[in-house]
Amino acid sequence: MSRRPVLRISNPATLEPLDDVECALPEEVPGMVGTARKAQASWGRESPAKRSRLLRRVQDLLAERTDEFAELVSRETGKPLMESLATDVMNALSVGDFAVSRVEHVFRESKVDFGPLSSMMRYMGRSSHLVPRPLGVIGIIAPWNYPLAIPYSQVMMSLAAGNGVVLKPSSRTPLTALRMAEVFKDARLPEGLLQVAVGSGAKIGNALAASGVDRIIFTGQADVGRRIMVMASQRLTPMTMELGGKDAMIVLKDADLKRAARAACWGSFVNSGQTCVAVKRIYIDQSVEDIFVPLLLKEVSALKQGFDLDDPSVSLGAMISEGAVAEMENQLARALEQGAKVLTGGKRPDLKGHFFQPTVLRAEQHMDIVSNETFGPIVALLTFNSEEEAVKLANDSRFALNGSVWTSNAERGREMATSLRSGTITINNVAYTYGLGATPWGGRGESGFGRTHGDAGFEELMERQHVHLDRGKFPSEIWWHPYGQEGMEAMHDFTGLAFNGERDGLLQKLLKARRLMRR
């Protein structure tokens, strides 16, 4: 067997070591899938009500350990404690609550409505039913930016739907995932139902993609998603992919500009901008640019950057690595080459860890900083002259995950929202609906495909088997052997009655069909 590698995990804000974690080996992944599949065989047969009761214990334990998890997330990611509480622990609990409370409704058997054929099917003694069933084992490849909220919500949805899970957390934040798995164990879920495979994406992620799981949920960069998709395609394994974002915030002239500026500050710099739905492009009505921009810069100037779990006023934490900071420097340099102007920030602060100042740029649509993904604390400001132009500019992106419209006219906001491509558009708020478990989450284009959360998310974690019931009222069908002229005529009559509305000689045609079916 190969030598087992070790991950040395450090706090990116202080650079102090946290722990060493042994990795799984790629050759162990199929066994993990097999273990989860064995546990799932009985778990999937449990009623949705029982699964809900057992998973409620997990929710209760996580709620009891809120402070413990918030501190661990902050130490592993370098984010402020407030963000760990609000965007990791609270979001995890919110989606988990939806999963356990909704699964009984989603897993109800339903009867198919045949539409125009309904009367005929009733006469023939036939009905169709959709029977919900778990898929089997779900492979989850999770990112580092929300090391509790994302994997916990996806695991809870998967387990509630009756599946087993093999989770590969980010190699940058495995400690949170391992502690999370202890919660499921302490809640006395079936042994082996949740497996955690720690290791690099290139080795363990690839092994999971090729392992024969029944669906893969991947959250991460588009280029990695493409690689995973190629491997999954060899087994025809379906995928749900939530990739990058370049979220647009449209500020109309009738917006509450002070609230919009506060929202823009938080939406741009939450988690140091390392959020797939962080605000990256702010389109401002030209007539209010001179009012909105100073309001935004005032909000940004008030942010306290650093890391101190005992100081609740720290508002901006670290980036995940030195490479992430260097990438911000490279993107900023390119933006300046193309003519962008720095309004504030743009440097590394005098702090020990991996920090980059919150940066606001005045930019133009053609610039790379506007078109490419920026996973860090840089936001670009642009202007527009009409609502039609604002929609056109916002839609001019390869990404389509999230966005927002700011206006005092709710109906106008709703109308604009339907013209925007993104999977979610929020009116007068930003980047928080991940925590609303009942709402679907996902995008299109290079932001991926499929949905997690909500009923749409459950549909990707289950199959609805079609069961068709014929009560045997007739010994034969019109279209069965032997063929003949009478059968051909009856088939024409049947087609005309069913689809063309041909009601002439209705009784005679029905009797002919009935006679053939009783032969």
Catalytic residue annotation:
242, 276
Q: Are strands 448-449 and 239-242 parallel, antiparallel or unpaired?
A: antiparallel
Query: Do residues 364 and 341 touch, judged by C-beta distance below 8 A?
Result: no
Q: Which two tokens stand for residue 389?
A: 């132009």
Q: Which two tokens stand for residue 384?
A: 């527009």
The alpha carbon of residue 502 and the mean position of all alpha carbons in its chain are separated, in whole angstroms, by 49
Place of tokens 């993107």: 331
Place of tokens 């980010």: 170
What totals of helices (H) and strands (E) does the chain contain, helices first?
Answer: 19, 20
Q: Buried b vs exposed e over 157-175: b needs ≥16 C-beta within 10 Å?
A: bbbbbbbbbbbbbbbbbbb
- As a whole number of angstroms, the distance between CA 370 and CA 280 comes to 8
Q: Which two tokens stand for residue 329?
A: 């420097």
- As a whole number of angstroms, the distance between CA 355 and CA 320 comes to 9
Q: Are strands 126-134 and 137-141 parallel, antiparallel or unpaired?
A: unpaired
H or E segment to which residue 324 belongs: helix 322-337
- Sequence-distant contacts of 382-389: CB under 8 A, at least 24 apart: 382/281, 382/282, 382/283, 382/284, 383/283, 383/284, 383/285, 383/286, 383/289, 384/250, 384/283, 384/284, 384/285, 384/286, 385/285, 385/286, 387/252, 387/412, 387/416
- The count of C-alpha atoms lying within 13 angstroms of the C-alpha of 377, restricted to the half-sphere facing its C-beta, is 29
Query: Do residues 157 and 97 touch, judged by C-beta distance below 8 A?
Result: no
Q: Which two tokens stand for residue 496?
A: 């005309």
Among candidates 464, 456, 492, 491, which has minimal Cα distance to 477?
491
**Sheet with strand 424-427: strands edge to edge:** 341-344, 359-362, 378-384, 279-285, 247-251, 402-406, 424-427
Q: Which two tokens stand for residue 103?
A: 């699964």
Helix axes 174-186, 149-160, angle to 10 degrees: 40
Count other Cβ atoms within 10 Å, centred on residue 290: 9
